[in-house]
Amino acid sequence: MKMSYPKIVRAEAIGEHIIRVEFTNREIKDYDISSLIEKPMFAPLQKPAFFKNFKIEPGGYGIVWNDDIDISEYELWINGKTA
């Protein structure tokens, strides 16, 4: 049986490496990307202007910067800290 996680309703950058995410169940979590930016794929997120320029995927299934960089609602939900 596949687990279902709340979808993303709203998201905003609230610091150099923090994304605040509001989910469909009204919970709000802060997700720190600091550990991700050590990986080459996520290196562009080190640039503040690029980091702040993301969109929520249709249906709230994640946030996306470009064709190569995204973070799923699962990751944001499981590893985000309650705000």
pLDDT digits over 44-54, tens only? Answer: 999 999 999 99
Residue 70: half-sphere exposure toward Cβ, Cα within 13 Å: 15
- At 49 the pLDDT is 95
CATH of 8-82, one of 3.30.450.20, 3.30.2020.10, 3.40.50.720, 3.40.50.2000: 3.30.2020.10
Task: Identify the three-state secondary structure at position 19.
Answer: strand
pLDDT in tens, 19-63: 999 999 999 999 999 999 999 999 999 999 999 999 999 999 999
Domain extents in the chain: 8-82
pTM: 0.92
The token duo for 9 is 């309703």
Write the single-letter amino acid at 42.
Answer: F
Strands 70-72 and 8-13, by their bridges, are unpaired
Answer yes or no: is pLDDT of 4 > 90: no
- At 30 the pLDDT is 98
